[in-house]
Chain A
Amino acid sequence: MGTKVHPFQKIASMLILGTIVALLSGCGAANRTARLEDGYTLKPGSKIHAGNATNVTGNAFEEIDVEKTFKEELDKSLAKNGLNGAASGDGKNFFLPCKIVEYEPGSAFKRWLLPGWGATALSVQCDLREIPGERTVGSVEARRTVSAGGGYTIGAWKTIFTTVAEDVSAEIGFKIGK
């Protein structure tokens, strides 16, 4: 025999649970796109080498070397997805220089106070270039924001580099062999 629960209580508890999950995971938006030249395909076995990242935001950041951090994270994530190394089979080698077009370190305290305030944001644009020749055959764009979540998003100013690098390599990985 169980106690009868009012439907409103059920809905309220679901919404509160949803909010807690959202807060724990850190809310925000994610966009990523990859474009290849018309008719161009990335053959299976193609490998990508992270090029230098360039800060074109027009701002300097004292707390973090954005160029070095992004390149390191991109290297790690390409290796994790098996996209690093020497090309095999029909695949070719590619070089992926990136531009950091937007970076906002944000503030976890502000996000906790008012969602949307103090959002952390990172946006990159990368060119996919053939080796040798350095001909640009495509581009990848990725943007992430962490706009709510309070204390659970304290390190977002740094972890966002990992997330965006993973978005870039996942998007390229998705194009290989398609």
Chain B
Amino acid sequence: MKTSGNETFHLPWWKKAPMLPFIISLLVGSCSTAWQKNGSYYRTATTRLCVGGAPPGKVYINGRYVGDVPAMVPVEYPQEVERKTRKATYWETQPGEAFLFTIASLGIYFPFSFIPVDTVSSQEPLASFKDNRFSVVVDAGERGKWEKEVVLTGEEELRVEPAL
């Protein structure tokens, strides 16, 4: 019903319905909390260390013989992973079930469903490593020894070319 005199503006309820998803998303968004750090742990990171080029020789990593040039050796070291958690509504974590509970409870659950009680967790690998320095030695016999210290930071593969 619309009246122009007192500027009263009423929309029938079915015309307001398109706004419902917007209102729900606004409520869901506003109810979430920010990410909070929740400690960290270390997991194994692996890098393929490729020792190539000439001349031929024996390859040692941290004093351990790993093969002859060219060699491809996977090396492992601990990488820090940060745990983060935040509170979220059930609409965010289980929207289907939240809908089901709303219907089954004949709407009673609906206002309570926007309380952020569920926990969402995330694990983010950090650029923080332990024991990630490796000594690479190529022993080419009479042609001499080549030595280099490499610092690995989560690369898939690292190539080193000995120059003797």
Q: Give Cα A127 to B109, complex, Å.
A: 42
Which applies to chain A's interface (DSSP): helix, strand, loop or mixed?
mixed
Q: Give Cα A147 to B89, complex, Å.
A: 11
Determine if B41 and A99 form an interchain contact, defined as CB atoms under 8 angstroms apart: yes
Determine if B104 and A15 form an interchain contact, defined as CB atoms under 8 angstroms apart: yes
Chain A residues within 8 Å of B119, by CB: 104, 119, 121
How far does the Cβ of B37 sit from chain A's closest Cβ, in whole Å? 11
The contact string, 1 if C-beta is below 8 Å from chain B, for chain A 135-147, is: 1100100010001
Residue of B nearest to A58 (CB): B39
Chain B residues within 8 Å of A136, by CB: 44, 46, 74, 76
Q: Which of B58-114 contact A (CB under 8 A)?
A: 74, 76, 81, 83, 89-90, 93-94, 97-98, 100-101, 103-104, 109, 112-113
Chain B residues within 8 Å of A114, by CB: 112, 115, 117
Chain B residues within 8 Å of A27, by CB: 94, 97
Determine if B117 and A117 form an interchain contact, defined as CB atoms under 8 angstroms apart: yes
B121 within 8 A of A: yes
Given contacts A115-B98, A115-B101, contact A123 B93 (CB under 8 A): no
B147 within 8 A of A: no
Determine if B100 and A18 form an interchain contact, defined as CB atoms under 8 angstroms apart: yes
Count, chain A residues at interface, CB 8 A = 33
Q: A residues near B, CB below 8 A?
A: 12, 15-16, 18-19, 22, 27-29, 37, 56-58, 99, 101-102, 104, 114-119, 121, 123, 125, 127, 135-136, 139, 143, 147-148
8 Å CB contact of B94 from A101, A116, A123: A116
How far does the Cβ of A78 sit from chain B's closest Cβ, in whole Å? 20
Q: Give Cα A125 to B104, complex, Å.
A: 37
Determine if A19 and B100 form an interchain contact, defined as CB atoms under 8 angstroms apart: yes
Chain A residues within 8 Å of B83, by CB: 101-102
